[in-house]
Structure 1
Amino acid sequence: MRARRIRSRSEPTIALINIVFLMLIFFMISGTLARPLDPALDLVRTADLEGRAPPDALVIHADGRLSHRDQDIASAEAYISALPPDRRGPDTTIRIVPDRDLPADIMVDVARALSAAGAARVMIVTERGLE
């Protein structure tokens, strides 16, 4: 009689390869569902445009100082109270322009102070760059 051989269990690599192959096909098909842009279209280049903060935005400098139209503002509450009556109300939207070097916790504190003073929405104006 022969001794019985112990069979080693092989890993199911074929099944794994099939799954990866099906995923590859799925992503190739779903990635081409978006229609490509017209090849004759030339997109606008904004690299040479001069960026400027909106004139009604509250600027937060790197040291935490607040200013509006080159005038220093004492606090977020003072900024809200100085707004014209037609810009104050339940739908007041405040735009803030933070300095690039401003710590995030200061920006969050100013945004919270603006909300507490009556701003319904606080929007952060940033620079967007596509390269």
Structure 2
Amino acid sequence: MALTKPARRAQSEPTIALINIVFLMLVFFMIAGALAPTLDDETSLIETAELEGRAPPDTVVLRADGTLFLRGAEVTIDQAVEASLDGPNGADLRLVADRAVSARTLMSRVAELREAGAESVWLVTERGLEQ
């Protein structure tokens, strides 16, 4: 009686088990770890609701009607660029825009400032902490 060789079974891929282990480790560390340290329960943040906003020094302020102001005085595009070149930021102009300025007015003023010689125009905004 002749013995026959058993049929060869296809070997399964060992990478599937490895992928499962890595995925489970990822889930574990996402749940167990913190991305940033949290504030302790005894710390309360300062309230700034009644704080009066003020433009940083050497920034050009764009009002809702499209006029430019620097250090409290109305200036032209050329005067704003010239003052920024003499300031601490060099050819980078800092611009604080009123919240009521339309996007079209803002973009046209930025284009005019760039054409007048400002290398880059940095828009200064307000940043709040959400709770």
TM bucket normalised to smaller: 0.5 to 0.7
1:71-86 to 2 correspondence within 5 Å? 71-74=73-76, 76-81=77-82, 83=83, 86=86
Unmatched 5+ residue regions in structure 2? 1-22
Is the CA contact 2:58–2:94 (under 8 Å) kept in the aligned structure 1? yes
TM-score by structure 2 length? 0.62
Q: Deviations over 1:6-44 (max 9, x none)?
A: xxxxxxxxxxxxxxxxx9x95674364514325255544
Paired residue for 1:65?
A: 67
Q: d(CA) in 1 for partners of 2:68 and 2:54?
A: 17
Q: d(CA) in 1 for partners of 2:60 and 2:87?
A: 14
User: Given residue 77 of structure 1, which amino acid in structure 2 is its aligned partner?
Assistant: D
Q: d(CA) in 2 for partners of 1:84 and 1:119?
A: 8
The offset of 1:52, in angstroms, is 0.9
Paired residue for 2:55?
A: 53
Q: Deviations over 1:66-99 (max 9, x none)?
A: 111121113x223223x2764499x511111111
The offset of 1:118, in angstroms, is 1.5
Larger relative contact order, structure 1 or 2 (CA cutoff 8 Å, min sep 6)? 1
Is the CA contact 2:55–2:96 (under 8 Å) kept in the aligned structure 1? yes
Q: d(CA) in 2 for partners of 1:86 and 1:26?
A: 52
TM-score by structure 1 length? 0.62
User: Given residue 61 of structure 2, which amino acid in structure 1 is its aligned partner?
Assistant: V
RMSD (Å), alpha carbons: 3.1
Is the CA contact 1:77–1:113 (under 8 Å) kept in the aligned structure 2? no
Unmatched 5+ residue regions in structure 1? 1-22
Q: d(CA) in 1 for partners of 2:101 and 2:71?
A: 19
- The percentage of aligned residue pairs carrying the same residue is 34
SS in 1 for 2:37: coil
